[in-house]
Structure 1
Amino acid sequence: MALQQVVQQTVEGLGFELVEIEHSAGGVLRVTIDVPWEPAQTERFITVDDCEAVTRQLQFALEVEDADYRRLEVSSPGIDRLLRNETDLDRFCGEQVDITLKAPLGAAAQGQVAANRKKFRGLLARGDAGSWQISWSDAPAPKPGQRISKKRESAPVQVLGFVWDELREARLAPVVNFKGRGVKAPPQG
């Protein structure tokens, strides 16, 4: 059985989603796992115990299959996780993301954005009919403790619409809050 199949069957058999497999030249086998996403489900994160359980099971399965590797690393996708498909865009709608377009905007931005710009960071939202949009403001973030005048005009919010095929890469923006994870209100309905 192929290495990909062994890893995928083992990971999915334990109730996780296989995100990525990387087999380096030095014999390191990196497996990235996540919790399968369902729209109504509250967000659950991969823990060290989850990685340990998958590691133990994979070591056994890979030994049975006589797979060629020196070291096994199992981890979560991390705070800057790659968004691999439109389902991931649905999952992280409303979050800060970094996107890279395949081609620069060119004249389509009508002078609002540099014509050769391909990288953007902003809030991901659903557009119309299978499209997405990202909104951002180019205003500099205030420094910690800095007072902001109420008379100061805020920078305009810019919006870029795109479809999945126009993206080279999309990732969650690594936003770190050192004061702890906030509690999200349960959905009403």
Structure 2
Amino acid sequence: MSTTQSDRLRELLEPLAAAKGLDLEEIETSRAGKRRMLRIIVDSDEGVELDTCAELSREISDLLDETDVMGEDEYVLEVGSPGADRPLTEHRHYVRATGRLVKFLSNEGGELTARILGVDEEGLDLEVPGLKGRKPTQRRIAFSEIAKARVEIEFNRKSDKKEEEA
């Protein structure tokens, strides 16, 4: 049974990430001139600190040096956390985005921007902002209705200011 390089990397690196309480979200290999790039994306419910990424990067580098999974060619290793605009694709991504404003694209092509209030196994409870001074409304959306979802960046979220003052 043949496995891809990505599968072998995931099998090798997942235990390192898990030992630090992290989820191995993505492994990406690409070419950058003569060198190859190996980009590892990790995340957790609490986020990922820079020091943790640096420690994990050293551990991954040491482990890769001991194996032949990357072959003989030079490569550049990059370990980081997902960006704020990463698509939500896994159940845990939606759980981590609870309280955040998210833009949804439905399977039918419609768009909706709403705040995630709660997540269960079937879908999401949302708060849809009111337009032109109207009150927000609540809505339920099933995972099966979602084609794409991405967190919206909020620079002036009112509830954050209230929490800071309290």
Instruction: Indicate the TM-score class for this superposition, using the shorter chain for normalisation.
Output: 0.7 to 0.9
In 2 relative to 1, CA 54–93 (structure 1 residues): closer, same or farther, beyond 3 Å?
Answer: same
Partner of 1:50: 52
Q: Does structure 1 conserve the Cα–Cα contact (< 8 Å) formed by 2:116 and 2:124?
A: yes
**1:59 corresponds to which of 54, 58, 61:** 61
Give the % identical residues: 21
Structure with more relative contact order (C-alpha pairs < 8 Å, separation 6 or more)? 1
TM-score scaled by length of structure 1: 0.65
Q: Is the 8 A contact 1:79 1:175 kept in 2?
A: no
Q: Does 1:120 align with 2:112?
A: yes
2:18 counterpart residue number = 12
Q: Which has the higher strand share?
A: 2
The structure with more radius of gyration = 1
Match for residue 79 of structure 1?
84
Structure 2 gap ranges (5+): 1-6
Distance 1:176 1:23 in 2: 33
What's the offset of the Cα at 1:127? 7.7
Number of the residue aligned with 2:4: none
Structure 2 residue corresponding to 1:95, chosen from 100, 103, 114:
100
| CA distance 1:7–1:173, change in 2 (3 Å) | same
Computed over aligned residues only, the root mean square deviation of the Cα atoms, in angstroms, reads 3.1
**Which residue of structure 2 lines up, in the alignment, with residue 113 of structure 1?**
none
**TM-score normalised by structure 2 residue count:** 0.72
Opposite residue 122 of structure 1, the aligned amino acid is A
Paired residues, what number? 150
Structure 1: segments with no counterpart, 5+ residues: 38-43, 105-117, 141-153
